[in-house]
Structure 1
Amino acid sequence: MVLLQTDPFLNELTNMFEHNTEKGSVWVTFKRSSLKSKVQKNKMASAGNEIEYRCLVRATNGKKTISTSVGPKDHQRFQASYATILKARMTALKKRERKDKRKAADADKKQKGSKKQATA
């Protein structure tokens, strides 16, 4: 797993989405983390120091895993950039033009009725 800065992470995430547009998946997970071991956290807690938690973001396509850590100050900017990437890359979720079910059923009935009259 590679821990990247936020901008290179977003660039790599965009590349992952591009490579998996036709076939494949990309999993993105968000997790609260202090990036410290339990021993270090326990020492800080016993000393009375406050632990700063960050958001650990991981992305994988099954073959490659990347991650980044986002602090509270950078969180809004990161979320805005992440949302822009998702909107641009998730084209399968766009609404497609569909026929109205009622109109399609009426058209089928008319076609069946005209066939019966033509055969009689």
Structure 2
Amino acid sequence: MVLLESEQFLTELTRLFQKCQMSGSVFITLKKYDGQTRSIPKKGSVEGFEPADNKCLWRAMDGKRKISTVVSSTEVSKFQMAYSNLLGADMDGLKKRDKKNKSKKAKTPQ
């Protein structure tokens, strides 16, 4: 997995969307990141560990390539605005929903 800066992550995410536009999927995950790179052993737990700054870990993968970035709480709003603009621009390849199933359920008498 490649850890990138926020701007580089968004440009690489754009490339992933363009690559998977005709066929394929891009999976994006988001989770809280506390800055630890190793797991805490069960017996000797580290108590009192508080991260100084809340951070988010963003990951994107297309099955072959994985990219990630860490965004601090101070720049989350800026990153999220850029991310939402990117999603709006690249969501043109979605399939339309089939409405036939919904109309059949409404017609069946109870």
Tell me which stretches of 4 or more aligned residues in structure 1 moved more than 4 Å: none
Q: Percent identity?
A: 39
Aligned residues: 91
SS in 1 for 2:73: coil
Name the structure with the higher helix share. 1
For the pair shown, the structure with the greater C-alpha radius of gyration is 1
Alignment of 1:1-120 (within 5 A): 1-36=1-36, 37-39=38-40, 43=46, 45-46=47-48, 50-51=50-51, 52-93=53-94
- 1:60 is displaced (CA, Å) by 0.1
What SS class does the counterpart of residue 28 from structure 1 fall into? strand
**Structure 1-normalised TM-score?**
0.68
Contiguous gaps of at least 5 residues in structure 2: 97-110
User: Which structure 1 segments of 5+ residues have no match?
Assistant: 96-120
Query: What value does the CA root-mean-square deviation take over the aligned residues?
Result: 2.2
Amino acid at match of 2:27: W
Q: TM-score, normalised by structure 2?
A: 0.73
Q: Which has the higher contact order (CA 8 A, sep 6+)?
A: 2
